[in-house]
Structure 1
Amino acid sequence: MFSWGGVSFCLSGAALYWLSRNTGHDAALLQSVRKVNQLKELASLLDSARKAFPVIVTVAGRVGSDAPITCDHSSLRAVILEEIAEQHFLKQNETGSWIQDSALMLSISKEVPWYLEDGSGRVFVVGARGASGLELTVASEVFEESGRSLVRGTLDYLQGLKMLGVKRVQNVLPTGTALTVVGEAVQDDQGTVRIQRPHRGAFYVSPKSIEQLVAHLGKWSRWYKFMSIGFTVFGVYLVASHAIRHLLENRRRAALHRRVIEAAARRREQRNLEGDDDENGRSESEAAMMKLDTLPNICVICLEQDYNIVFVPCGHMCCCSSCSSQLSNCPLCRRRIEQFVKTYRH
């Protein structure tokens, strides 16, 4: 038998170790990435490294765009906009009480071509929404109350609903935001330089500097490693303790079985000596039954009475009613006894 809890902890530890390795690998990769101090250096770097593609670099600058998005409920101008609209309402549950709930009505995501600039040049960023570390700012959060139409309100009430209103939230990446981008630098035929996701390697768009990113990933790598060790040790402990309990239970069961068989043999010898059950007068069927009776129905405590009590929740039946009244744990599996169920034979 297996300890599924212990196995689960061991598998969780393996998953955390895998996360630790990946996070540590990303941190080491970011440390080895070439840092471009000025964006104007990218073009000359790509010209000199045309035979050594891909070129993975880290650049920093401020967000800009030739056609930014204007937010509806704020004065912000952004290059990425994500808007969600949720319908909030009260609904009646089975007990007749009203509880608050919400449902997604609308989800919009927009992005315009944008770039990083630092005064010396600019570089376009492609596919930023799929990058790690991207953080969007909450531009606006508006709650619009539902209209008070009598007909609509009556229909909603009959369906067990009370409409409260619509909540609209806009998350944006504003222009002028300072960002650090780690990715593959490429240059097209028109001379435009872009940063995009590399075929292999890390792709980050983050407000943190490259040093902060490396420190952040290193910290999480160590945390994942410590948690992996803890989960694995605890899982091994659960598996080992379950195996030891199972082994001890089997040994106790075997010892009790031997005691019962020895007691049954002594009882048969005593009956033979007293003449209660003369072997010469037995029928052939009774003799065969006695030979097949490897584990008599004898209480494992007193070894005299037949067992007739089932222990709950373990389900073992090995004691008589007199001995069971003095027990708190099952003599076979050592589990605590919560209930005694008496059985009867016809």
Structure 2
Amino acid sequence: MIPVGGITCCLSAAALYLLGRSSGRDADVLKSVSRVNQLKDLAQLLDAASKVLPLVVAVSGRVGSDTPINCEYSGLRGVIVEQTAEQHFLKHNDAGSWIQDSALMLSMCKEVPWYLDDGTSRVHVVGARGATGLVLTVGSEVFEESGRSLVRGTLDYLQGLKMLGVKRIERVLPTGTPLTVVGEAVKDDIGSIRIQRPHKGPFYVSDKTIDQLIANLGKWSRLYKYASMGFTVFGIYLLAKHAVQYIMERRRHWEMRKRVLAAAAKKAGQEEGGLNGKAENRSESTNKDRMMPDLCVICLEQEYNSVFVPCGHMCCCMACSSHLTNCPLCRRRIDKVVKTFRH
């Protein structure tokens, strides 16, 4: 049998180690990025670093937009708005009870061009939805009860459903939110500066400062590595336990085989001493049959004296047969055990 538990633990340990290594690498990169204290200095920094582009920087400011979105339910003004609608209902299962479930009906997202503003200048942010660390604020969460007609409700009931209502959630990145963005700084031909995902390196959009991001990444890196060590030790323990059990099982098998062969040799010697010349007249097949002991295949101590019905095999003693439900030879189910007597 394959040691699934041990292999799973070792694979989990490898995955956690890679996650910890990735977090640690991102923390080291964030320590080395250029920090821009005022956005007005970013243009000069880009001009001075034209030979070392792409330039990954960390900037901070408040979210703003020339064309913000007016949220439908919360009334907030934002630059990224996500709306989801979930249908909640009761479902009749096979056990005869009703369980609550839900299904996604609607999921849509709107985003308008936006920028960070710290009072000294503006920097546009592109592709923030795919960045790490972006958390949208729950602006509104409304549950609308089901208003289905009697006919529709009856049809749903016949199908094993009871509609409860629709839950609508609106998440938004409001204007005025302070953010820290780590990404590649690019200056176009008209002098406009934007921050975007770098070809290589981290891309963060977070409400935490750069120092908080570095501290969190370092903490998660350590946690991942400790968890990886724990899974590794436990996985090795499971694999070693399985290996020891396999070795012990093989050892028991060989010991059992030696006992059977020893019993066969002993019985063959006793029969040869009593039969004398009569053994010479028996066939070769009969001699081979006598070499095999009439011992129970379970305990290897008592002679077998029971017949399994309906398969007809006879290989166990009555004491061992009482604990069996299937024949050890053909695996067929035992309906009845008949005791035999030897003369």
What is the TM-score with the length of structure 2 in the denominator? 0.86
| Letter of the structure 2 residue corresponding to residue 147 of structure 1 | G
Measured in 2, the distance between the counterparts of 1:342 and 1:28 equals: 73
Task: Tell me if 1:196 matches 2:190.
Answer: no
The answer as to whether partners of 2:74 and 2:170 remain within 8 angstroms in 1 is: no
Contact 2:139–2:170, Cα closer than 8 Å, also in 1: yes
| SS across alignment from 1:275 | helix
**Equivalent pair of 1:89/1:162 in contact (CA under 8 Å):** yes
Q: Is the 8 A contact 1:271 1:277 kept in 2?
A: no
Supply the distance in 1 between the matched residues of 2:140 and 2:318 (Cα, whole angstroms): 73
Aligned length: 324
Cα RMSD (Å) of the superposition?
2.8
Distance 1:59 1:186 in 2: 13
Could you say which residue in structure 2 is the equivalent of 1:78? 78
2:260 counterpart of 1:260: yes
* Cα distance between partner residues in 2 of 1:249 and 1:94: 43
Letter in 2 for 1:229: M
Q: 1:335 is matched with which residue? A: none
Which residue in 2 is equivalent to 1:5?
5
Task: Spell out structure 1 runs of 4+ moving beyond 4 A.
Answer: 288-291, 307-310, 340-346
| Alpha-carbon distance change, 308 to 229 in structure 1, aligned in 2, over 3 angstroms | farther
Q: In the alignment, what sits opposite 1:298?
A: 295
Which blocks of at least 5 consecutive residues in structure 1 are unaligned?
A: 311-316, 328-339
Q: Partner of 1:15 in structure 2?
A: 15
User: For residues 280-336 of structure 1, what are the alpha-carbon distances to aligned partners after superposition, in whole Å with 9 as ceiling and x for unaligned?
Assistant: 232233235556x5xx452475645138699xxxxxx986344788x9xxxxxxxxx
Q: Distance in 1 between matches of 2:95 and 2:275?
A: 73
Question: TM-score by structure 1 length?
Answer: 0.85
Q: Which moved more, 1:263-272 or 1:126-135?
A: 263-272
Which residue number corresponds to residue 223 of structure 1? 223
Please list, as runs of the form range in 1=range in 2, the aligned pairs for 1:137-286 lying within 5 A after superposition. 137-147=137-147, 149-275=149-275, 278-286=278-286
Q: Tell me the alpha carbon deviations over residues 158-180 of structure 1, each in whole angstroms, 9 at most, x when there is no partner.
A: 43333332221100000111111
CA–CA distance in structure 1, aligned partners of residues 35 and 59 of structure 2: 6
Equivalent in the alignment of 1:131: 131
Name stretches of at least 5 consecutive residues in structure 2 with no aligned partner: 309-313, 324-333
* Counterpart amino acid of residue 305 in structure 1: E
CA offsets, 1:8-58, max 9 Å, x none? 111111111111111111111111111111101110011111121100000
Q: Is the 8 A contact 2:86 2:104 kept in 1?
A: yes
C-alpha contact 1:2 1:239 (8 A) present in aligned 2: no
In the alignment, residue 22 of structure 2 is paired with which amino acid?
N
What secondary structure, in the 3-state scheme, does the structure 2 residue paired with 1:78 have? Answer: strand
**Counterpart for residue 331 of structure 2:** none
